[in-house]
Amino acid sequence: MYIAMSQFEVANGMAADVREAFVNRPHMVDHEKGFLGMKVFTPQENENEFWVMTTWTDEISYREWYKEHMKASHEGIPKGLKLVPGSLKVRFFDMVSD
């Protein structure tokens, strides 16, 4: 299993809009080759911070989706959203144990 984990912090009071966008996301990625699932988290101590975990069968499937469809799948991002500078981080993991 391959995991892509994104972390970011909303800077301009739009955390509720971001939360709603994830709840009502169009599920475009759900039918992509190798996609297993998505989970979105916010830490209890900071409702403006988001962690997005997508799981894939393998790195190649993720890379193909990113190259071909990532931009279109992010069209639901709330207009006017601003992030805390430097807060966007993307890390990649291999599953060791479940």
Amino acid at 92: F
The string of pLDDT tens digits covering residues 16-62 is 999 999 999 988 899 999 999 999 999 999 999 999 999 999 999 99
Contact 17, 78 (CB under 8 A): yes
What tokens were used for 23?
């709840």
Domain extent, residue 17, equals 2-94
What tokens were used for 14?
């739009």
Single pTM value for the model: 0.88
The string of pLDDT tens digits covering residues 16-26 is 999 999 999 98
Total domains in the fold of the chain = 1
Work out the number of other CB atoms within 10 angstroms of the CB of residue 42.
17
> The CATH number of the domain where 30 resides is what?
3.30.70.100
List the beta bridge partners of residue 93: 3
